Structure 1
Amino acid sequence: MSAVGNSATSPLPSAHDVEVDAEPGEEVPRHDDEDEILFPKLVDRVSQQAVEDEYAEEPSSRARFDDTDDEEREENIDSLVLQEYDGEDMPTIEWNRKNPDLTPGTVEVACIHYAKEQIDSDAILDLVRETPTIVPTALHGKLFEKYKINVQYMKIFYAKERALDRINGPWNESFQLLYTFKAEVETASPGSVVEIDKHIVKYKLQGKAMEKECFRRAFVCFKACWQGFLNGCRPYLAVDATALNGRWRGQLAAASAVDGHNWLFPVAFGVLEVECEESWVWFLQQLRNIIGTPSGLVIHTDACKGLETAVEIVFPGVEHRECMRHLAQNFKKKFKGKVYDENLWPASYTCSLRKHEHHLRVLYAHNTLVKEYMDEHHAKLWSRSKFNEICKVDYLTNNLAECFNAKFKSVKGLLLWQAFDKIRQMIMVKMAFRKRIAETQYVGHLMLPSQIKALHAKARGLRMKCIRPSTYKAEVTYTDSKNREWRYPMNLATNECCSRQWQIRGKPCIHALHLMTVIGREDGEVDKYCSEYFSVAKFRVAYAENVPALLGKDQWNIVDPGFKLHSPHLLY
């Protein structure tokens, strides 16, 4: 019998009998460009363009690959093109393969395969050198546009791989360069950490037992990032991984924080061979070796394989949140109906433990299997009512990690040392930009102006009643559209409201804002009642340092670790 079929038939308390939280939570950043929108004149377009040009990303073309079997449809009708092409403006293609000089405008069928080989090796080489991350579909479109040749997808795919090897050196040898990258980073920025993990793979060659040391995973954390996180950001980390799309299909893992503006602040990143408990334990252990366990630390995760267990192993006792969006998606697969829609998300949104427990009672009364399911599958924190009051981040979803994935998606097809280097450059440009903001825009301000402006906007037009037993204490009463009164005792001296919104977010809730407008004068200034995490001082400290500037790859002093590091052991 389905879970829905077991629903109780007794009268239920309505979710509408509980006040809906009048104040929405903070919006998790979806993109990392809000700073550029607010301060466009401070953006360093030259540096930004230089980073984009070095490893440019080419969008996929709309080219369609047909199944051109039968000797590629008689070599595209014996004329390098399909029948629809009228042959006008056909480019002249010249070769000197021990023999003929081809007459302009003519191509012999015997040379067609060679023509394609030349296009694959030469034309693709130039395109890939210009745009290393160009995808095969985009290459197909460019080749057809220039040469009117319909080359099969896999031929282009392998031609691109060969071109990358000619440009950057053999892919199998690129992993050895990670030790040189490590030396360059740690020399230029003492305190930065680059860790490389390898393992021994046994194999047989012509019946003889052999073994080799293969790359497995890597971890990168710049001093400016971990120092800025510990000194200037709230103790909140969103951890996630996204699949690489280069020749090695590992995982790009990252731990990201937020500054006082709620802007993405990368703390650490790396690559894993696969998402599993062992690989995540290794990644998180490298992270803990650097940052320790700050007071009030929160780690937010998705439903990544092995990650939830790894967090408990490496960071026992920290507040471990799970993504509410994934929880709700899984929940709806098992439980469907209006009662669930009206109570699950409200139980998550509210900062009040009393409201949270009310919504749970409604769910449990409607179906006794709900409690069993939640206890078994969703034991991590997913409601604001259970969040600690130190972190000052009220995020319910792990969208911050998705923001990191979106920002750095252009590196996922590069060689690992290239990907790490481009991430370093992108972080460098962003941190320098935000440091300029701190130095030029916030002089004379105690708190970040955008945060104070948002609080002033919330305070306008509030219709509430206020009874004060003393100057800084009050009962603030709100009357909803159904003429019901909701009362909130609060204390400005201790920055507390019984709604707990203030304590969890670190900024005055609307009830506190109303009391401040009643008090007025200096004692009613909003700046005094915000957490220091939203101060200009904290923002400046977060971006006080920057990641190291490095020499180019051709200038590196190649490091010999004393062994040959082979490419990852591919399991597919």
Structure 2
Amino acid sequence: MKAWRAKEKALEILRGKPRDSYRKLPSYLYMVRHTNPGSVTRLEKAEDGRFLYAYVALYASIKGWEYCMPVVVVDGSFLKATYMGTILTACTQDAAGKILPLAFVVVDSENDTSWKWFLERIRETYGTREGMSIVSDRHESILNATFVVYPGVSHCVCLYHLWGNVKKYFRKHHKILRKIFFAMANAYTTEEFDQYMAETYRIDKRVKEYLFDIGYHRWSIAHSNVNRFMVMTSNIAESVNAADKEVSDFHIYDLLDYLMKMIDRWNNTNKNKAIATGTTLNTKYEDLMREKMKESQGMTVTPSTEYLYTVYDGGKRHVVNMRERICTCRRFQMDVMPCKHVLAIVRKYYMNEYEYCSIYYKKNNLLNTYEVPVYPIPDESIWEIPPDVIADIVLPPKGKIKPGRPQKIQHKNSGESRRKKSRITCEHL
């Protein structure tokens, strides 16, 4: 206990008192808007002046969203500071497949009210785009909030979280089911999907009923209502959570400041890589295009009309409509990128393959994503805060600190594994 008290005293000297951190919030959020005009912040308090929610969406992210694929990935991670709480995040992928954080909010916990409030702020900030989809785990509060706030937007389920549930409920056959499940989810045609589903049915009839109740369109490419741009998991949100872990015990003021600096650092790194890119597509998608080009070798192409072609891939016949950008394999329209059958046509008739790629994969969009920089907050000693902002008093939230050692490992949702990781890395960072 003596060592613990010494540590707490040292942290208080370094970071200040937790209560004082909440009092700084109105001034800090004002400075965020002042140094980054166009940013959106929101501070929600209870009737007695106690803290409820703090929301931040930087203008750099708001402008960058216009040039990114319309896929929003959301997730939450618990905090370990004095007053606990949870941080909810929303992010997307840029034209290089890197993470662009859109918004974050500190709330009391993951519940229906907090998620609804967060998604409402995102809708107010970013609006709704055509073909937009939201990807998350199967947290009940996210499902409920999405249904209310985004009734016309497709809500997709992260494959790994869904597999975790299947593994839990049908453990007896999970080793056999794993390969079939992921092949079924990534199948592009309903015929291929039905074949894998028939195999699943023979192994355990209950799996089909369970997946049907969830909705095939929420996790299967073959039944998807929108283009998911190959985003089938919530990995990018998990990567943001991993980056937050090292500051999960910070006071709220320091936490928000760290997140803002993190976004600034990521944006600068991604912008410099974009400037150094000498190809039309980023390296990730250029490599993918080359692989498909190799697979297209040896295919026979027969023109039917000016824009209709028949491609023979081994023993299979595929019809490609270059004008409508449709192939019977469905990869062309679902990935919004040329499939191997399209590339066989492109190679034979000397077409430009990049004309058939979505703008969300191209370098120009990548550069535009980071056109607006994140301006750092100046030192607190030179802040000039209006009197009405200074007069806004925020009290810490109500709550009782639990006795004993603070929790360090987040309790997983149903079906998630508890495997330990010595270091978390992600290709999207």
- Regarding TM over 0.5, the answer is yes
1:568 aligns with 2:397: yes
Farther-moved stretch of structure 1 (247-256 vs 562-571): 562-571
Q: Deviations over 1:184-238 (max 9, x none)?
A: 01112221011111214xxxxxxxxxxx421122111001101101x21000111
SS at match of 1:550: coil
Within 2, Cα distance between the matches of 1:367 and 1:453? 39
Within 1, Cα distance between the matches of 2:4 and 2:224? 49
Question: Would you say the 8 A contact 1:189–1:547 is kept in 2?
Answer: yes
CA RMSD of aligned residues (A): 2.3
Shift in CA distance, 563/538, structure 1 to aligned 2, threshold 3 Å = closer
Q: More relative contact order in 1 or in 2 (CA 8 Å, sep 6+)?
A: 2
1:344 aligns with 2:181: yes
Within 2, Cα distance between the matches of 1:267 and 1:428? 12
Within 2, Cα distance between the matches of 1:157 and 1:513? 64
Question: Would you say the 8 A contact 2:53–2:107 is kept in 1?
Answer: yes
Within 2, Cα distance between the matches of 1:476 and 1:292? 41
Question: Would you say the 8 A contact 1:300–1:398 is kept in 2?
Answer: yes
1:188 is aligned with what amino acid? T
Q: Deviations over 1:450-494 (max 9, x none)?
A: 533431243125343333324543222223xxxxx2222112232
Which 5+ residue runs of structure 2 have no aligned equivalent? 403-429
Shift in CA distance, 234/185, structure 1 to aligned 2, threshold 3 Å = same
Shift of 1:270: 1.5
Within 1, Cα distance between the matches of 2:228 and 2:141? 27
Shift in CA distance, 539/342, structure 1 to aligned 2, threshold 3 Å = closer
How is 1:42-191 mapped onto 2 (pairs within 5 angstroms)?
A: 154-191=1-38
1:385 aligns with 2:185: no
How is 1:200-219 mapped onto 2 (pairs within 5 angstroms)?
A: 200=47, 212-219=48-55
Q: Deviations over 1:530-565 (max 9, x none)?
A: 111112221111000012221123333456454532
Shift of 1:183: 0.7
Q: Deviations over 1:480-523 (max 9, x none)?
A: xxxxx222211223221111111111211112112222223xx2
Within 2, Cα distance between the matches of 1:441 and 1:255? 27
Number of equivalent positions? 396
Shift in CA distance, 170/448, structure 1 to aligned 2, threshold 3 Å = closer
1:487 to 291, 295, 317: 317
SS at match of 1:241: strand
Within 2, Cα distance between the matches of 1:356 and 1:379? 10
1:423 to 251, 254, 259: 259
Shift of 1:365: 5.7
Shift of 1:528: 1.5
* Larger Rg belongs to: 1
1:456 to 244, 267, 290: 290
Farther-moved stretch of structure 1 (175-184 vs 445-454): 445-454
SS at match of 1:565: coil
Question: Would you say the 8 A contact 1:321–1:382 is kept in 2?
Answer: yes
1:277 aligns with 2:104: no
Within 1, Cα distance between the matches of 2:216 and 2:91? 23
Corresponding residue number in structure 2 for 1:528: 355
Question: Would you say the 8 A contact 1:452–1:526 is kept in 2?
Answer: no
Corresponding residue number in structure 2 for 1:47: none
Corresponding residue number in structure 2 for 1:326: 161
Within 2, Cα distance between the matches of 1:427 and 1:167? 24
1:474 is aligned with what amino acid? Y
Corresponding residue number in structure 2 for 1:126: none
Which 5+ residue runs of structure 1 have no aligned equivalent? 1-153, 201-211, 480-484
